[in-house]
């Protein structure tokens, strides 16, 4: 089974779409009054309006991680900070930050199955 799509609820849809489009470089493939869809490889990331009574995501540790190349891993911290974004944490393989709605996002070059990795 493979991941089909992710649906993110956002208090500020425009700011959240801008983050995924401009910061993470996902491509908008559909946009209407109800949602905006962005392509992340074969997975679609849907950004939808969050109702006023839905909980905030700003303190939980749930994570969605996007793959980045090992060569570009070293470039991302400077790029993110130059855009005014805060890096919440970093490991050898992953950079952690929050999207405008407080969702925890990772940018990772971790290779699953790597014999050198403790998570193989």
How big, in percent rounded to 5, are the helix, strand and coil portions of the chain? 15, 30, 50
- To the question of pTM greater than 0.95 for the whole model, the response is no
Question: What is the arithmetic mean of pLDDT over 13-26?
Answer: 96
Q: What is the rounded CA–CA span in Å between residue 59 and residue 13?
A: 19
Contact between 93 and 110 (Cβ < 8 Å): yes
| pLDDT bracket for residue 120 (50, 70, 90) | very low
Q: How confident is the model at residue 114 (pLDDT cuts 50, 70, 90)?
A: low
CATH of span 5-108: 3.10.180.10
Q: How confident is the model at residue 115 (pLDDT cuts 50, 70, 90)?
A: low
Q: Mean pLDDT, the chain, as a whole number? A: 91
């Amino acid at each position: 089974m493979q991941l089909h799509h992710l649906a993110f609820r956002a208090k500020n849809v425009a700011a959240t779409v801008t983050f995924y489009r401009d910061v993470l470089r996902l491509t908008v493939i559909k946009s209407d009054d109800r949602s905006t869809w962005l392509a992340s490889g074969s997975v679609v990331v849907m950004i939808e309006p969050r109702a006023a009574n839905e909980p905030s995501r700003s303190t939980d540790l749930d994570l969605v991680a996007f793959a980045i190349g090992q060569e570009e891993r070293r470039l991302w911290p400077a790029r993110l900070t130059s855009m005014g974004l805060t890096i919440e944490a970093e490991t050898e393989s992953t950079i952690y930050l929050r999207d405008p709605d407080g969702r925890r996002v990772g940018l990772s070059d971790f290779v699953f199955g790597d014999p050198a990795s403790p998570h193989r």
